Amino acid sequence: DIALEITLGLEEAGYTTWCYEVDSIPGPSYLIQTGQAIEQSKAIILVISPHSLGSRQITKEVVRASESNKEFIPVRRDITHVEFQNRQPEWRQAVGAAASIGIPRQGVASVLPRIIDGLKGLGIHPRLKTDAGRIAQIRKAIGELQGRSMLEKAEEPPVPTKKSELEYGVAEMPEEKVKPAVSVEKPTEAVKVAARPAWSWVGIALLSIALGLLAWGTVGTLLGEHTLSFYMIMLLLAVPFMISGIYC
């Protein structure tokens, strides 16, 4: 946490600080505690970030410090001075003409000397002796905060890659949607003929036999009444087979 790191650096330099993460106590209202700390302080180190700009609590503290005529040292994190002024005009008015300082990639340690120079420029000087117990307390708070942060990151579900998302999507899709699109051509007439059922050929055979026998002799004289009846039965049997074969 940026505020804790700045607090640690100032304590190591001999300054007396108040930080909510270290100095707040359970029970009394935090509004009373922060209000008392503001009244007793000589300057306010205001950490400005995209996250803190939306905090109503910090806005109340900024207004309280401004009304108490406290000096501000604005420290920016991941935001420009112009963006800060545009997004929080209320803070801008409270801070006034105080110049801000941005935290580079190197971290808080690289800007601590400038913050200390700013305090000295305001006439605020460190004490001669540092408090080892206080420094150890702040280091412990930083370690606990970093441990919680690492635990929260470890508990976060992994972000699926594009490949795993696609695999999951295919696995969840119904089977008919996963099948590849294949162009199926309409069967030709030759395929239909080849697929005729067996009984159509039976009808053709019966019809051929009946016609062959009829062609062997004269229907009225040579065949006789009983033979003609036999041919008619064969013809009647052949017709259903032929019809079923045509429509299959």
Domain count, the chain: 2
Answer yes or no: do 15 and 65 share one domain. yes
Q: Which helix (H) or strand (E) holds 87?
A: helix 81-87
| Domain extent at residue 237 | 189-247
In a domain, 52, yes or no: yes
CATH number at residue 108: 3.40.50
Answer yes or no: do 195 and 87 share one domain. no
Alpha helices in 156-196 (DSSP H): 162-172, 175-178, 189-194
Answer yes or no: do 134 and 28 share one domain. yes
Instruction: Tell how far CA 215 is from the center of its chain.
Output: 86
The per-residue pLDDT string of the chain (248 residues; one tens digit each, 9 = 90 and over) reads 899 999 999 999 999 999 999 999 999 999 999 999 999 999 999 999 999 999 999 999 999 999 999 999 999 999 999 999 999 999 999 999 999 999 999 999 999 999 999 999 999 999 988 999 999 999 999 999 888 777 666 666 655 554 444 333 433 444 444 444 444 444 444 334 344 455 454 555 555 555 555 555 544 444 455 555 555 555 555 555 555 554 44
Contact 85, 39 (CB under 8 A): no
**Length of the chain, please?**
248
